[in-house]
Structure 1
Amino acid sequence: MIPAGFDYVAPATLDEALTALAEAGEDGKILAGGQSLIPVLRLRMSAPGILVDIRKVPELQGISMDGDRVRIGAMATHHSVVHDPLVVEHLKLLSDTEQTVADPQVRHRGTMGGALAHADPAGDLGAVAVALDAEFDVAGPQGRRTVAAADFFQDYYTTALAEDEILVAVTFPSYAGWGAHYEKFTRVAQSWSIVSVAAAVQVEGGIVRAARVGLTNMGAVPIRASAVEQALVGGPATAEAVRAAAQSAAQGTSPVDDTSAAADYREHLARVLTARAVLAAAG
């Protein structure tokens, strides 16, 4: 199908983008990489009157260290995140996960910020953001604010972003030296996750000193598997101990029944994939 007609603006600064979005009101939509929005427009599931293209805004670009945190501009493409040396060194889990997003064509066009703001519960990056305690730098007419990942995702395709706000960047603490792995279960390659698990662990002397585990598509929003983390920390990094801890993976989740999988099967997958992801992260 062909999208409905719309106007188009391409602001050169963040202030111009915020002004254009405010003037558009409910009739405006932000265009980042377009990998989620364009298909929706073509199906006429959305028909905005104006698109605000933020690809030329320099404040939304780049990957850098901000103190002891890694700052990733919202317009950084999946491909650039995968290969950036800072991300590889400090955020191996994010780099590994980004490599599983869609296909190379989408990774070269799609943006990390756009995917997170889209908030698809089957999207890969939300679980990583929640597990690694990311913070979202948001700009709006009233100024800037910071939103923790735990508060950013609110429901299906719903975030803490107001209609007149723009995601500027996402920052992460450094996890240099941690083991990491993203275990993704799909029916076919490059499709949405049925269930996935993001795991980062710090192992010293055969003991798990710290653990971060996030779950994809086990509810309306990405979920932190806190019970698993608590069971892992202080215990041995052995197959037996990890599999025992992974039995808590489905606690606090609310998976759906759909054509891809039943809820109880997703719970089973969460336990199995958590064990695999943590064991791989622990080496």
Structure 2
Amino acid sequence: MALITITSSFGSGGEKVARKVSEQLGTELFDDGKIQEKALSMGISEKDFGRLDEKTPGLFDRLFTNNPSIYLDLLGSIVYDIASGGEGVIMGHAAQVFLKDFSCAFHVRIHASEESRSQWVAKEQGISEFESLELIRKMDKRFKDFVHYGFTRDWNDLSGYDLVVNLDKIGGDWAVKLILDLSGSEEVRECSLNSLEKMELSSLKLKLDAAIIKNGLASQFGFFIDVTGKGKVRLWGSARNSEEHKKLLTVIKNVPGVTEVQSDIFVMPHGYQGY
């Protein structure tokens, strides 16, 4: 059992490394397409993620152009759901930040110089090296801004990775070998059931948070949500009226994965004006 996150700069070849690692491990690769498939399988509607075709902007683009708060919660719930399975290779999607405290995951950073990346991108896309360099810097900035916006972290902070591989120095084949050897170590492969269960509960909590924001309930005062067990949710605090309480219950019960809702909500008396 191995759960690996692979983060790479645009054009560094990290995708090829990730694919080879997943193939040799015989485990699933969660790239942008698979992440979106996973979202649909979890009950997140296609409407939430937009049309899924080759012309659709990437997931990060939609995070910025739609509602960042909702999509961060949705993305986090997906990453945690994958992690709760205890194995797989997650390519990008800030998985290394979502799972920074998850001892079961092995975090890899793939690095290559701007020069080598611009040469590769220019060749692959049939553009000049000047154009490819501009594209590389634009994509790097986009991911840097995303991580900073979502987590107030620097994606170049190497303390967030267990292994940093310079492809300019050792190449893709050796990178794959290093990742496979280290991910097979006892320290990495050991994963407690408590850790897996924690990821499952965290996934549900983020889905609940996203649903609250999406349905315009985040600005309402007084109520709180706890995930007390697998599929079990507790609401507590206060609601301004019975309609708000009813809407809250409906939204929570419709979140995929919720099987039981305990409401300890106090409904304010009619005519209550606050303090």
Q: Given the two structures, how large is their TM-score scaled by the length of structure 2?
A: 0.32
Of Structure 1 and Structure 2, the greater helix share is in 2
Which of these two proteins has the greater Rg computed from alpha carbons?
A: 2
Of Structure 1 and Structure 2, the greater strand share is in 1
The answer to which structure, 1 or 2, has the higher relative contact order (CA under 8 A, 6+ apart) is 2
Q: Given the two structures, how large is their TM-score scaled by the length of structure 1?
A: 0.32
